[in-house]
Structure 1
């Protein structure tokens, strides 16, 4: 698998080099949508990018823990994409130089997307490489610079695998009366992004079905949150997704080799992880609404006898509440449970948007969702206001306030016990070209 990833990255790079070496000329530019170039051979190239600097303040209602303030470059992304002259082949190469991943955590791997797509027909395409997977919840494969609120919901950070390497097949079919059906099939390594070594377990297989009863959204609006184009007729997409990760060595399939179990012969003995959900997106005349539900389950093999510690040593101890319990110990380190997220907002003609969101997490009895430092917080309430500085996603200023309703027994980010609830204020500027 490592060789496949290196090969696909080199192929995408060669596509880019070949494209820009063909007497490339600027064809058009649209603020926030990027530069479009044409080549003598008929192929096209598109260059896009954006920056998102911001700051946040996290406070605690107990009155004894100091507020935590953070300034940072949230995203700094560059994307090159293009098509061959006959438009059968296309590619994308995207990097993020900010060192952050899609759910706020530090990330030293700057490569986001590297894939090649071949159009088998006008309605069926096959993609090979690394990209966002359609087996995650809908919010995850929406462009980051088009988000209604500053950050994605806690449902996304809890359950999404974000990006994966593998084979992606998608089709689009007319179903009568202007409606459309989109289908996706995904076969990946199931280990997340940028896994060039330590690829463990089996493959991940999954799929998604999306139904659009009123036809396609305007200007790729299915993959963007705020209704900047102000859809003239109602647009709706309803989807279902399912995936099975066979032999997972992390909490949710995002970081291969992070959590490893062995059998008596020192061979990998890894749990399987199943995830499914339903979601929708609706837009009409500046109003938008997004709803998502997701649930995960696990199957723990009965031949586990050891676990691998962070330092590489092994242990046969699996204590849960002072009792040896292998199955529930394994479950306690995985993201198991369910969640739903509902958000909506309205973008006025003057460029001001008012938005709100409610996210609810329901942890299984044995699940990492009960972790006191990062989770054990069932309710998230967020309100936000944005000012779009252009009639596009090119520039905007956003502010949001989130109130976190926590269970008893939580810690701050430094693992210090705290009481009460949390609040979070964020401000961010987005500037795209």
Structure 2
């Protein structure tokens, strides 16, 4: 029902756009880059979309279990970007008809981006609304239809909040000899995307600083993974990010109200969540390399005495290894620890790409990263091949295989198993 409403909204928007006058025209179209509509007054709308049908098969190295196979439409996204005639105001509206979100706990997340931008100066832009946050690792800057491998890294699924609602400020300053400095500031609700009901805890504040010593990437290449443009000179961006979520109500700031605690006065008392990271992206003549490091910590308030169960009932016990331990019980339900992701690949002139990735997660002693069903897997080794069917990201076929080094893991039904995992994935991407 939600997807139907979104489609109707999309149709009404296009109808309204043409209803404003007879001067709307198609100014450009490039396969994979979308449609660009303009008016004689200078208003502009860009329409992009893409589909990603997907297959996944999971095997266990030593357990006598049938393969866990899954077919699904991974993404079916539509995006509108518009600018006013004076170019100071712009907006973005993006939704996904599958409702899959980026990860499993985001089911039903149809609305992705709804943000208004204002160019305060030629170098500073202020945005308000819901969008991807600047305080996540660099991979979250990359559009989903431009990824080198079928899925994002496990570092992203472990620590990223992905989308948030709030105020975003970004700058773009030339610093001499062709280099650029790009600072970002973020002030959000810290509860993730689509918070239409309760808003728990305080605000989340953070930022990022990126430095590009060799100038800007070609055709937004800083925000796309494979080096489709085959940079003629080396391009590099290095950055650092930091965020502090004052009162978090989920594992990492992605699900508002998922995990709640109370004090003796029955007031909400929630832990703080702090995260920082460093990362880089390098591209040159078809070669690309991405590196990321993230660390997350938590501070638990002293006055927590109650917890709210999933069914809404109240409990006053916080069991950890047979004893009551409020601090470590709370930390055990959060994504705490550190990890890094390294990946690289080469895109041949024929459109064939070879890519590899290694991801390592190091969980704190008390962290949800130790959960045997979803995590407790410190090492991920991925090798992938892709065939780009266009000169950009318009169409491609991707396949990869991942070996997962586990540590006392469970299967998808929470049953303990022996050995490790193999995961094979295939995905087709077709963009407007």
Q: Structure 2 length as normaliser, TM-score?
A: 0.96
Which sits farther off after the overlay, 97-106 or 57-66?
A: 97-106
In structure 1, the partner of 2:113 is 113
Q: Give 3-state SS (helix, strand or coil) of 1:411's partner.
A: coil
How do 1:277-296 and structure 2 match up within 5 A? 277-296=277-296
Whether 2:420 is the aligned partner of 1:421: answer yes
Deviation sequence 1:238-277 (CA, Å, 0-9, x none): 0000000000000000001000000000000000000000
Q: Structure 1 length as normaliser, TM-score?
A: 0.95
CA distance in 2, matches of 1:328, 1:88: 49
CA distance in 1, matches of 2:254, 2:404: 25
Deviation sequence 1:47-78 (CA, Å, 0-9, x none): 00000001010000114121100000000000
The answer (yes or no) to whether the contact 1:22–1:41 under 8 Å persists in 2 is no
How many residues matched?
Answer: 422
Deviation sequence 1:267-322 (CA, Å, 0-9, x none): 00000000000000000000000000000000000000000011111110001000
The answer (yes or no) to whether the contact 1:16–1:80 under 8 Å persists in 2 is no
CA distance in 1, matches of 2:218, 2:381: 30
Deviation sequence 1:374-415 (CA, Å, 0-9, x none): 0000000000000000101000000000000001x2111111
Shift of 1:141: 1.8
Shift of 1:198: 1.4
Deviation sequence 1:157-196 (CA, Å, 0-9, x none): 0000010000000001011100000000000000000011
In structure 2, the partner of 1:7 is none
Whether 2:213 is the aligned partner of 1:207: answer no
Shift of 1:103: 2.6
In structure 2, the partner of 1:410 is 409
The answer (yes or no) to whether the contact 1:51–1:76 under 8 Å persists in 2 is yes
Q: Give 3-state SS (helix, strand or coil) of 2:71's partner.
A: strand
In structure 1, the partner of 2:431 is 432
Q: Give 3-state SS (helix, strand or coil) of 1:417's partner.
A: coil
The answer (yes or no) to whether the contact 2:118–2:125 under 8 Å persists in 1 is yes
**Cα 1:314–1:98, aligned 2, differ >3 Å: closer, same or farther?**
same
Shift of 1:17: 7.2
The answer (yes or no) to whether the contact 1:19–1:44 under 8 Å persists in 2 is no
How do 1:308-347 and structure 2 match up within 5 A? 308-347=308-347
CA distance in 2, matches of 1:271, 1:14: 43
The answer (yes or no) to whether the contact 1:19–1:43 under 8 Å persists in 2 is no
The answer (yes or no) to whether the contact 1:103–1:152 under 8 Å persists in 2 is no
In structure 1, the partner of 2:57 is 57
In structure 1, the partner of 2:88 is 88
In structure 2, the partner of 1:149 is 149
The answer (yes or no) to whether the contact 2:63–2:417 under 8 Å persists in 1 is no
How do 1:88-237 and structure 2 match up within 5 A? 88-105=88-105, 107-237=107-237
CA distance in 2, matches of 1:376, 1:278: 24
Which sits farther off after the overlay, 40-49 or 243-252?
A: 40-49
Which sits farther off after the overlay, 283-292 or 100-109?
A: 100-109
CA distance in 1, matches of 2:12, 2:43: 14
- Structure 2 gaps of 5+ residues are 1-9
CA distance in 1, matches of 2:73, 2:401: 19
CA distance in 1, matches of 2:11, 2:207: 28
In structure 1, the partner of 2:7 is none
Shift of 1:133: 0.2
The answer (yes or no) to whether the contact 1:234–1:284 under 8 Å persists in 2 is yes
The answer (yes or no) to whether the contact 1:15–1:91 under 8 Å persists in 2 is no
Shift of 1:105: 4.6
The answer (yes or no) to whether the contact 1:212–1:236 under 8 Å persists in 2 is yes
Q: Give 3-state SS (helix, strand or coil) of 1:391's partner.
A: coil
